[in-house]
Each structure stands twice: as C-alpha cells, then as structure tokens.
Structure 1
Amino acid sequence: MARAGLTADRVVAAAADLADSIGFDKVTVTALARGFGVKDASLYSHVSGLQDLRTRVALLAAGEFADRLSEAVAGRAGRDALVGFAHAYRTFALEHPGRYQATQMKIDPAVAQESSAFRRTVDTIYAMMRAYRLTEPDLTDAVRMLRSTLHGFSDLEADGAFRADRDVEASWERTLDALDLVLKNWPAGPEGDSKKGDGHEDRHADE
C-alpha cells in the first residue's frame, strides 16, 4: 500500500532535489526512501524502479530547463537573446547541478517523443538563432558550437576547473562576445553549402 502523503510527483521532485544535493548519478531508490523515512517498497507504488525514477527526473528537469530558457529569450532578439539564453543556461547548470546532469541523460526515444520538454529546449535554441540568418548545414553547426560552448563552460566551472587568476565572469562575458561575433560572421563552408538565409529555418537536425 502506498504511504499516505506520497505521490509520484512528490517522489520525483524529491529525487530531483536529492540529485542537486548529491549528484544525479548517486540518486537511488534506497537513498530517496531514507529521506522520506520509509522503506524502498513504499516508493515502488509510485515508480517502477531506478531507471523509471531517473527518467522521470530527467523529464522534470528538462521541463524546468526549457521554461527557464524560453523565459530568458522572450521578447529579445540577436545578441540580447543570445546573452539571455546563455545566462539562463549557465545559471540553471550551476544552481541545479543534479537537474542539469539529468537533462543530459539518454532516455528512450519513444518516451522523449511523448514529452514536449526536450523539444521546447531545441525550439528555443533555433528560434533564438534565427536573427543570425543561418541556413543548413551552417545552422546545425552553429547550434552545436553554441551548445558545446555553454555546456563545456558550465561543466568546467561547476567542477572548479578554472584556477587561473583571470576573473571567471570576465572570461564568461568575453566568451559571449566571441560567440556573437562568430555567429554574425559565420565562415563560408565548402562550395555548395548554404551560408545565409531568411532566419526562418525550421528543420531541427539535433533533437
């Protein structure tokens, strides 16, 4: 019998909070049950196992991440949107390390397709990139560069890998300046590749 007061939503939210505290990869049903003061069996009324629990946390985190990103770019365009997007990305990754790690989890494609969370993040990225008027394959290349840069910077910062005397905030601002400059002056690709378009490319290559 399910313990009174426990619901699937409450269990998943607690697991996400635990992930932020100890790391997503360390979240277990046993650790979560201990936090609730119940036996493991009490949680199996709400999740089918560890994989199901982690998948649900990933979907929850992806939805929260998508909300944060879309709010950051609303009403903005060009560099202003890029900066808002980047700041929201980095802030989420640093404030919610476990949740952010969960958004990187590979989940069943069928499960992902049923949720709008991951798609909304991709939609926000591509909508933000429209002002740079790139077409495929340059658009996908640029999106990959952007995601790699933001992920790498945030991940390294969270791990305390930036040890030089240079102020991290100063490096971050210069990174955003560089990203904007590159996107505005995207290099010409091999002959036949697209370069500039009308800013309304709808094909999302990386989803």
Structure 2
Amino acid sequence: VVRTAADIADREGWASVTLSRVARELHRHVTSMYTHVDSVDELRRKVALLAAAEMGDLLWTAALGRTGADALTAVADVYRTYPREHPGRSEALITYGSRDDEFIALAARMSEPLRATLRSYGLDDRQVEHAHRVFSATLRGFSTGEAVGLYETHGDADETYRQILALFGLALENGKWPVSPARGGRARTGD
C-alpha cells in the first residue's frame, strides 16, 4: 500500500495520494485501506518515511569509501537524481518535515554522509550544520528547478550543476568556509 502510494506520488503528484486513489490503483475498495493505515495522514507519513529511508540508503551507498571532492560529488548526485526519479517522494520529504521521532531518526541517518564529508574538510560542528543547510538548500532548489524544466531555455543545467560543485569545492578545499561567529559577532571566512 505504501509503495503504491509512493508510486502514485511520483507519477501524479503528492496531492494525488489519497486512500481512494490508492484503493483504485490496487483494485480494492477504499475501506480495505484501513486494514493497512488509519488515515490518509498516516499513509502520507509512511510515504515520507519510505522516501527518507530510500534516500538515506542511496546517500550512504554513494559516500561509502569516498572522501573530499569525490564524496561531495557522489552525495550531490543523489540529491540531484532522487528528485528527478522520485518527484512525489521528494515532495513528501520536504512537506512532511520533522514531526515525529521515527522521521527525525531517518533524517539524521540521511544527513550523516554529507556531514561526514564536510567534517573531512576540517569544518567544526557549527560550520558543518550551516554548510549542510546551504548545500542541501542549494541542491534542492537546483533539482526542483531542473525537475520542472526551469533551465531548459536558460542554458546547460549540467554546467550549472558542475559550477555549484566547483564553488563548494573551492570554499571547502581552500579553507574559506565561513567561521561561526561568537555570539553577536559576524561570520568571517576561515584562513
């Protein structure tokens, strides 16, 4: 039931995930869905959990045995391809958020390959936190734009992607990532 809902989300959009739509897809009566989930909210939660688990597995596999720019590129490739291959599941990840302990645990597992990669560049915990947010937001925004065809008329999306990675790589490899300020201070670049 959950995989069917996830597949519907990918094909038809996240808003299409309803108990009646899943029942139709499975050639069942909608009341039979209640043997699997209590509500559409629970179904959507389970799709978000599935997406977080899948993406976490892909990120761990991508980063395993890699360091530095190689790891950064491998992780970025997952951030780029997963939304393209699974647009509905990706929307579930974004819209569900951190509402429960199970999702929070999966989100932490999903973020660790990138965080480990960032730590390998010598970033402290606070820098890793912010670098993770910046990297994720940048790639999520790029991938979302790419998925809806935003870059088709404005040049080469692959070149933009390479430049995103080059900018992050330069900042990380040259030690120019912003240093977290003391309370009330301004961020500065590390030298």
TM above 0.5: yes
Q: Secondary structure at the match of 1:108?
A: coil
Structure 1: which amino acid aligns with 2:177? Answer: W
- CA separation of 1:52/1:165 partners in 2, compared to 1, >3 Å: closer, same or farther? closer
| Greater mean deviation of Cα atoms: 23-32 or 180-189 | 180-189
Equivalent residues of 1:19, 1:25 under 8 A apart: yes
The two structures have a TM-score, normalised by structure 1, of 0.82
* 1:158 pairs with 2:136: no
Match of 2:169 among 180, 191, 201: 180
**Contact 2:119 2:128 (8 Å CA) reproduced:** no
CA–CA separation in structure 1 for the residues paired with 2:115 and 2:181: 23
Task: Flag structure 2 segments of 5+ consecutive residues without an equivalent.
Answer: none
Number of aligned pairs?
184
Alpha-carbon distance, 1:135 to partner: 1.2
State how far apart, in whole Å, the 1-side matches of 2:171 and 2:70 are.
15
Structure 1 residues 21-170: aligned runs within 5 Å = 21-104=11-94, 105-113=96-104, 116-170=105-159
Aligned pair partner of 1:19 in 9, 15, 19: 9
Per-residue CA deviation, residues 120-179 of structure 1 (Å, 9 max, x unaligned), is 112222112111111143222211110111100001111111144421111111111111
The offset of 1:107, in angstroms, is 4.8
Q: TM-score, normalised by structure 2?
A: 0.88
Task: Give the share of equivalent positions with the same residue, in percent.
Answer: 36
Distance 1:89 1:190 in 2: 29
Q: Confirm or deny: 8 A CA contact 1:137 1:194 kept in the other structure.
A: no
- Structure 1 stretches of 4+ moved >6 Å: 192-196
Structure 1 107/130 Cα, relative in aligned 2: closer, same or farther at 3 Å? Answer: closer
Query: What amino acid is aligned across from residue 63 of structure 1 in structure 2?
Result: A
Structure (1/2) with the larger helix percentage: 2
Any unmatched runs of 5+ in structure 1? Answer: 1-10, 197-207
RMSD, aligned α-carbons: 2.0
